[in-house]
């Protein structure tokens, strides 16, 4: 079945550092890929998405490129801020595989220190 | 638009008790779903619905029932609560389509079963 693997945290960085959170996936069809963010005590919000190979999703300074050859969708940001502290989830939607709903990774807790 | 709303925000149950977690959306989304979030497990799909009158099981459906009598509402029922159902529950909705559509999440219901 489908699966998503992402680096587990916590990941602790200093403000203005470069961020990479790795995400790789396994899917039977041609999935769409997502990054969701969860701030403390809140629900999940879509951060960015890509629906086909080589697409780049971007939002709020975050970027991720859909790499079919490496089955990856790594999240990057050039200069993180304290307000970026949250849990980040990589997810896929593989409608072509017959499944429905989102398949999530376990989440990466990001802590940004001033 | 209120988006996706969930009630209650927090609930404590005793083993064997029943309860219904409410979920409503005002975006006229065809697709609705329930996830549970457990530490180190990410989010896992419980049940989903592609439209009024249609429901199906997700990854972890045991112990939960759902119904979809209207487009707006998608309640989740626990008939006999167990400690293993202690979790945070999220409802989500999206438009139907090819799979690249964004899912919108509610704020969550934190459930503790004693």
B99 chain-A contacts, CB cut-off 8 A: 31-32, 51, 93-96
Residue B84, classed as helix, strand or coil, is: helix
Mean predicted lDDT score pLDDT of chain B: 93
Contact A92, A25 (CB under 8 A): yes
Q: What percent of chain A has pLDDT over 90?
A: 76
Q: What is the pLDDT of residue B9?
A: 95
B103 chain-A contacts, CB cut-off 8 A: 46, 102
Q: What is the pLDDT of residue A95?
A: 65
Mean predicted lDDT score pLDDT of chain A: 91
A95 chain-B contacts, CB cut-off 8 A: 98-99
Interface A–B counts its CB contacts (< 8 A) at 65
Q: What is the DSSP string of A55-98?
A: -EEEETTEEEE-BTTTTB--EEESS--GGG-EEEEEEEE-GGGT
Pairwise CA distance, residues A103 & A88, whole Å: 14
Pick from B2, B4, B10, B43 the residue to mutate for testing the A interface (most A CBs within 10 Å).
B43
Q: For residue range B76-112, what is the model confidence (pLDDT) as tens digits? A: 999 999 999 999 999 999 887 765 678 899 999 999 9
Assigned token pair, A2: 């489908």
Q: What is the pLDDT of residue A99?
A: 46
């Amino acid at each position: 079945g489908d699966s998503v693997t992402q680096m587990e945290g916590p990941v602790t960085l200093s403000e203005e550092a470069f961020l990479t959170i790795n995400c790789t996936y396994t899917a039977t069809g041609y999935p769409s890929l997502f990054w969701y963010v969860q701030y403390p005590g809140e629900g999940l919000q879509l951060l960015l998405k890509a629906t086909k190979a080589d697409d780049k999703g971007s939002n709020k300074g975050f970027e991720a490129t859909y790499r079919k050859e490496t089955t990856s969708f790594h999240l990057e940001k050039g200069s993180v801020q304290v307000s970026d502290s949250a849990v980040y989830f990589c997810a896929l939607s593989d409608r072509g595989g017959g499944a429905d709903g989102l398949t999530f990774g376990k989440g990466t807790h990001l802590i940004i220190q001033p | 638009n209120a988006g996706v709303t969930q009630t209650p925000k927090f609930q404590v149950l005793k083993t064997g008790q029943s309860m219904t977690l409410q979920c409503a959306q005002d975006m006229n989304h065809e697709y609705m779903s329930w996830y549970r979030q457990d530490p180190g497990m990410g989010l896992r799909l419980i049940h989903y619905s592609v439209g009024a009158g249609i429901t199906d099981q997700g990854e972890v459906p045991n112990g939960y029932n759902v119904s979809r009598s209207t487009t707006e509402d998608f309640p989740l029922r626990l008939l006999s609560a167990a400690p293993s159902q202690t979790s945070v529950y999220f409802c989500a909705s999206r438009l139907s389509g090819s799979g690249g559509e964004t899912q919108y999440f509610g704020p969550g219901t934190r459930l503790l079963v004693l």
